[in-house]
Amino acid sequence: MKTPIYLDYSATTPCDPRVVQRMLPFFADTFGNAASRSHAFGWTAEAAVEQARGEVAALIGAHPKEIIWTSGSTEANNLAIKGVAEMYRQKGNHLITAVTEHKAVLDPMKHLESQGFEVTWLPVDKLGHVDLDQLEAAITDRTILVSLMTANNEVGTLHPIHEIGALCKRKGTLFHSDATQAAGRFPLDVEAQHVDLLSLSAHKMYGPKGVGCLYVRRKNPRVRLVAQMDGGGHERGMRSGTLNVPGIVGMGEAARLAKAEMVRELPLLAALRDRLEARLLAALPDAVRNGDPAARLPHLANVSFPYVEGESLIMGIKELAVSSGSACTSASLEPSYVLKSLGLGDELAHSSIRFSLGRFTSEAEVDFATDRVVQEVKRLRSMSPLWEMVQEGIDLTQVRWTAH
């Protein structure tokens, strides 16, 4: 078995070889600028871009004209949130989101707060869900946007976007969803789910990095945005700049493959994830599974291993590519804000590992990975005085620690 074994598909995915093959001609042979309208090189590029637009639209149940190309989900989220805020400021200055969103939603919201907008930050329960009654109560006649992700990137919890979309439609406010983690892993239908704006990124669904898109609803209601990038008026005036034709072609092919293979792929991913969790929890019965055990992505497992520091565990399993529940900041090691929002204490949040599987993960790799994690957790615990105290039946919450 080749190591390291990649179990971090939620961070990025390898480009599917079929996607690479589709993109290759557009680097050197078919290299035209899609905005060049006066010759065949431009026409060929434009035709490829429009084909990709149709393929991405088909994945989410949209019309091709509703797809606006971006450099990825971060740009798509910024365009959706800031674009709506500026366009509809006369109607209201209130936006709603949740504390567990990706930074690419939280930071634009914080930026708008600094510009005088009012943002409601909804809490979540221990499974990662917002309270729909609380959401409804938060919407006022000044609310112009609700932004809630389809699926959480750390624990995989799925928001009930169909219900959220219906609520927003009833209340007359726009609904944006960051579906970066969900594309190809959960059925998306912007019409049935009443979504007005949706962000996607190619590299999370076996496409290339540096390309993504924003779905912008054309009717019922027609959504308008203030562009965040000016110059040339590309993409219906919402996003200027020469289009990344090879990347867009790759995203189109990735979307086509995702739509074609989802029905077969998702049960296989869920079975592998369940196998991984079952093996870990059987060997380490005190391990804690984070997020919603039912309403979640099929490929992601977030598990906390009490009395073990997540970063130490990752250092000890160099043969595995996984991610920690802690995020390294410049001066300190902070536990994940998502896990803290779910009510996990610092110790448990610090001990969490995210395993995310994908199209190229094998059962043998899952078995090897779980064996290595169990072995390393036991090794680290054997050196932990806290683990020793727990084994002796001491309740650590009742211990009074004194500094000498």
> Which of 15, 168, 213, 328 does the annotation list as catalytic?
328
Compute and round to an integer the Cα radius of gyration of the chain. Answer: 23
Q: Does the active-site annotation cover 213?
A: no
Residue with tokens 């669904």: 205
Cα–Cα distance measured from residue 205 to residue 186, given in angstroms and rounded to the nearest whole number: 11
| Cα–Cα distance, 380 to 374 (Å, whole number) | 10
Residue 155, both tokens: 């624990």
Contacts (Cβ under 8 Å, ≥6 apart) of 296: 151, 155, 156, 157, 158
Strand order in the sheet with 143-147: 67-70, 212-216, 197-201, 174-178, 143-147, 94-98, 118-122
Q: Which two tokens stand for residue 104?
A: 């690419």
Are the C-beta atoms of residues 149 and 179 closer than 8 Å to each other? yes
CA gap 177, 77 in Å, rounded: 9
What are the contacts of 281-289 at 24+ separation with CB within 8 A?
283/370, 283/374, 284/374, 284/377, 284/378, 287/377, 288/348
Q: How many CA atoms lie within 13 A of 106 on its CB side?
A: 10
- Residues forming the active site: 328
